[in-house]
Structure 1
């Protein structure tokens, strides 16, 4: 059904396309959707771990430890909501578009992603890192010096690795947007 609809719409057009066949577009859309689902899953697992930790080990009074956990949970949850919104907004519009309108939509979509990538994502990373930083004094008081050093190194190393992965993804999206604007 989806493939037939795309074949009819695209067969009626003469302009060269970014992607050659409807099957190629569906494949590319599924790959991108799967990558977004993987990102959402990883962030969701992290949120579940943080919430579980907060429920079992945090004290039911407000302090910087709970504030740090809240900031970490909030920043990841906000990013998850953005990813879901972006994902489902794109899925709903894909099938009903002509080739030209899909090309215009992709440009608009990746420009919106640019705003998310260059404005919202750095704020989320900074808020998450600050939240982690607020936890460190409590970890230092509660853990042995060796385990605290492990938490310190692994925590900041994880944040750095995730930042590199995000930067690589942003670079790919920027290249794709540049390719779209050339056409």
Structure 2
């Protein structure tokens, strides 16, 4: 139903502003939206695990361990909210705009995404890292040396993996913005 409405709107427009058909843009939008949903799901699972752990173990007394958990949960929650807002805003615009307007909107949207990726995401990662850093002394005290080493190594590897995924998505968004600017 949405695709039919979009196709009708764009078929009546001049096609001189874009080399993309409505089907191409819909396909790209769905692919990116699915990627955002995967990111949201992974971050949400992490938040749920941290919250369960926090209520089960951590909040017996206030200390820097609790602060670290709250920083980690807060940074991920902010990123989840931004991703949901981004997905919702883009989808609502996709259905309501004609091709020329949507093309201009996409340029603005991806410029905003660059700001999120280059400013807000690094701040979220830094806050998350600081929170993890605050947890390390407690892990070292309460867990065996082997398990502490495992937590440290797996935490660093996981974070590097997430950063690699973020960098890959930023590169893809930059390429798409360059393609939009060419047209």
TM range (shorter): over 0.9
> Which residue in 1 is equivalent to 2:7?
7
> Which residue in 1 is equivalent to 2:135?
135
Asked whether 1:84 is paired with 2:47, we answer no
| Structure 1: runs of 5+ lacking an equivalent | none
Asked whether 1:71 is paired with 2:71, we answer yes
CA distance in 1, matches of 2:90, 2:138: 43
> Which residue in 2 is equivalent to 1:125?
125
Asked whether 1:102 is paired with 2:93, we answer no
**TM-score, structure 1 as length reference:** 0.94
The CA deviation at 1:11 is 2.0
What RMSD, in angstroms, separates the aligned Cα atoms of the two structures? 1.3
CA distance in 2, matches of 1:150, 1:165: 22
The CA deviation at 1:96 is 1.7
Deviates more, 1:89-98 or 1:39-48: 89-98
**Change in CA separation of 1:49 and 1:103 when aligned onto 2, cut-off 3 Å:** same
Asked whether 1:165 is paired with 2:153, we answer no
SS in 1 for 2:15: coil
CA distance in 1, matches of 2:75, 2:114: 18
The CA deviation at 1:13 is 2.1
CA distance in 2, matches of 1:108, 1:130: 32
> Which residue in 2 is equivalent to 1:61?
61
The CA deviation at 1:172 is 1.0
**TM-score, structure 2 as length reference:** 0.94
Q: How many residues align?
A: 182
Deviates more, 1:155-164 or 1:23-32: 23-32
